Amino acid sequence: MGYAAQAMERTFAMIKPDGVKRGLTAELLTRIQRKGYRVVGLKQFVISRELAENHYGEHKERPFFGELVNFITSGPVVAIALEGENAISGWRGMMGATNPANAAPGTIRADYATSTGENVTHGSDSPESAERELGLFFKPEELL
Ligand code: UDP
């Protein structure tokens, strides 16, 4: 009693092609596990254009959409399903702001990202997107 309720959540995290290419996978998984999140799904693969366009569907009309789809399909990504207390906003906090110039010190994007486009990681921004994106990237039996 007297403690705020903490919601156990699942979220979708991704190491983008720039992060994989630069050999940051182990470092980022270490950060995730040190934080205490459980990795309940994990796979490395090259995203199809169809999946990329679906995943980023909300940005379809934006000027950067074509470039974003080209980038995200340019090499392997690591798709990660995370579980933990308040994991959705917690993982977004660990990533930092979209534009690394605005990302707080110590966040992943402040430490590693080179531009707004190539910013190393993705994280769902709400319970609805987490459910939608986990469903796009993982079959139910792939989540342990
Ligand atoms: N993006 C971009 N240019 C922009 C805004 C976004 O290339 O001006 C890319 C960037 O890779 C970003 C992704 O599109 O991570 C999704 O954008 P969103 O605003 O959802 O940012 P996020 O949730 O990834 O921080």
Catalytic member of 122, 133, 134, 137: 122
In this prediction, residues 71-96 reach a mean pLDDT of 98
Active site residue 59: no
Give the burial class of 94: count Cβ atoms within 10 A of its Cβ; 0-12 exposed, 13-18 middle, 19 or more buried. Answer: buried
> What is the Cα–Cα distance from 89 to 95, expressed in whole angstroms?
10
**Is this structure's pTM higher than 0.80?**
yes
pLDDT of residue 6: 77
pLDDT of residue 78: 99
98, 119, 124: residue to mutate for ligand 1 pocket, most atoms within 8 A of CB: 98
pLDDT beyond 90 at 2: no
Q: What are phi and psi of 135, to 5 degrees?
A: -70, -30
In this prediction, residues 51-78 reach a mean pLDDT of 98
pLDDT beyond 90 at 51: yes
Share of the chain above pLDDT 70, in %: 97
Q: Do 92 and 121 contact (CB within 8 A), yes or no?
A: no
Per-residue buried b or exposed e for 70-91, using 16+ beta carbons within 10 Å of the residue's own CB: ebbbeebbbbbbbbbeebbebb
Q: Is domain 8-47+76-142 annotated with CATH 2.40.30.110?
A: no
pLDDT beyond 80 at 104: yes
Residue 44, classed as helix, strand or coil, is strand
Q: What integer best gives the mean pLDDT of the chain?
A: 96
7 CA distance to ligand 1 middle (Å) = 26
pLDDT of residue 42: 98
pLDDT of residue 3: 66
Q: Do 88 and 127 contact (CB within 8 A), yes or no?
A: yes
